[in-house]
């Protein structure tokens, strides 16, 4: 059984920063705008992060040449995927789950700035 409380405080801090970015900018911008603003908000909130962190993909014990870039890795253990779309769909959740599986991280936050109100989904393995 998964522990839904894992990294709760860290996620609370990250989501708070996301709400602040959405409060100031609203919806309607491209993902890159939110990513840049979120990096500033993470710095202001003393949230440790790496933007566009390149991560390896382990396939049956072999590291693939192809890498993927997560929008953010916060606290060295939480994947943060930023979207700016009409609504989150299952493909977005699958993408985040794939990132968690290949990194073996336990928690991902999928955040959508594209709606009138900020929407996010906390995904725990």
What is the CATH number for 70? 3.90.320.10
Number of domains forming the structure of the chain: 1
Average pLDDT of every residue of the chain: 93
Q: Is residue 2 part of a domain?
A: no
Burial 31-46 (b: 16+ CB within 10 A, else e): beebbebbbebbeeee
Q: Helical H runs in 1-125?
A: 8-25, 31-44, 90-103
pLDDT, tens only, 47-105: 999 999 898 888 888 999 998 889 999 999 999 999 999 999 999 999 999 889 888 89
Using CA atoms, how far apart are residues 122 and 118, in angstroms rounded to an integer?
Answer: 13
| Of the candidates 80, 75, 88, the residue with the CA atom closest to the CA atom of residue 49 | 75
Residue 3 lies in a domain: no
Please give the residue range of the domain that contains residue 33.
Answer: 8-124
């Amino acid at each position: 059984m998964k522990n839904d409380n894992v990294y709760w405080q860290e996620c609370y801090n990250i989501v708070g920063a996301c709400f602040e970015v959405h409060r100031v900018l609203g919806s309607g911008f491209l993902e890159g705008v939110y990513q840049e603003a979120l990096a500033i908000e993470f710095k202001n909130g003393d949230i440790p992060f790496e933007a566009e962190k390149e991560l390896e993909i382990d396939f049956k014990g072999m590291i693939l040449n192809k890498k993927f870039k997560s929008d953010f890795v916060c606290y060295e253990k939480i994947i943060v995927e930023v979207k700016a779309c009409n609504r989150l769909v299952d493909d977005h959740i699958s993408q985040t789950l794939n990132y968690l599986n290949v990194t073996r991280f336990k928690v991902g936050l999928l955040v959508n700035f594209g709606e009138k109100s900020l929407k996010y989904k906390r995904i725990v393995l």
